[in-house]
Amino acid sequence: MSYALSVFRVPRAILDRLYGKGDRALLAEAMAAIRADLDDFDAELGAPDLENNDVDLSHAEALAEIFSGRFTEHVNSSRYGWAFECLCGFIGEPLSNDGFSPCKTGWYEQLDEILKAHGVPLRFADLIYDAPIPIPPADDWPCVGHWGTAALAARQPLAQLIDRIDEADVKQALQTALGWLRAAEAEPGSVIVGFHG
């Protein structure tokens, strides 16, 4: 299996309507739009898996729990991550993942070392390990994270760093990341949400 990064530009105002808000209108609209995708995850990942787990949920049930802000204990927590990815595909805009498909988590560590060495205040670890809403962290995949408005401050130093990079794969990945920051800047109040899995 190849692992990759999926990235979405998502309006912060809509994210703020999710976790624990019980926004039934938004949940119903999302369910109508992404139910087939959630069902596909159920089929692909065998959810709910009550043969191997005492308790488990479908991905649609996991999405409903995200809206309620109450999570069932001992559930395969990847259900929440995949459900949230489907939701971000509905409420947000998918962005390019050039340079990140396929990739392993070690790639983010390598890029973070380069950013740190050049004083660029941005970390890929945040993009995959800092979820924008408090869903249970996955015990498997996906890793979920985000870059908020503070990350926009890195746009100029990142652009300057790219001009000094010679390695083609590093340059491509950083140019893609710069595109994400520019996309967020073009839509004030949006965040970049990432899913690695």
pLDDT by residue, tens only, the chain of 197 residues: 579 999 999 999 999 998 888 899 999 999 999 999 999 999 999 999 888 887 899 999 999 999 999 999 988 889 999 999 999 999 999 999 999 999 998 999 999 999 999 999 999 999 999 999 999 988 789 999 999 999 999 999 999 999 999 999 999 999 999 999 999 999 999 999 999 99
- Residue 164 pLDDT: 94
- 9 close to 183: Cβ distance less than 8 angstroms: yes
What are 193's strand-pairing partners? 8, 146
Tell me which residue of 142, 128, 162 sits closest to 79, measured CA to CA: 142
Q: Residue 135 belongs to what domain range?
A: 5-196
- Residue 51 pLDDT: 85
Which pair of structure tokens corresponds to residue 29?
């609209």
Q: Distance of CA 142 to CAs 59, 84, 86, 98, 137, Å? A: 13, 10, 12, 19, 9
What is the SS3 assignment for 100? coil
Which pair of structure tokens corresponds to residue 112?
């973070």
- Residue 109 pLDDT: 97
Sequence-distant (≥ 6) Cβ neighbours of residue 132 within 8 angstroms: 10, 15, 145, 146, 148, 191, 193
What is the SS3 assignment for 193? strand
- Residue 110 pLDDT: 97
- Residue 78 pLDDT: 93
Strands (E), the chain: 5-11, 93-95, 143-147, 190-196
- 173 close to 157: Cβ distance less than 8 angstroms: no
Count of domains forming the chain: 1
Is the link from the previous residue into 142 a cis peptide, with omega within 30 of 0?
Answer: yes
- Residue 140 pLDDT: 81
β-strands 93-95, 190-196: how paired?
unpaired
Tell me which residue of 96, 151, 90 sits closest to 124, measured CA to CA: 151
CA 173 to CA 100: how far, in whole Å?
A: 7
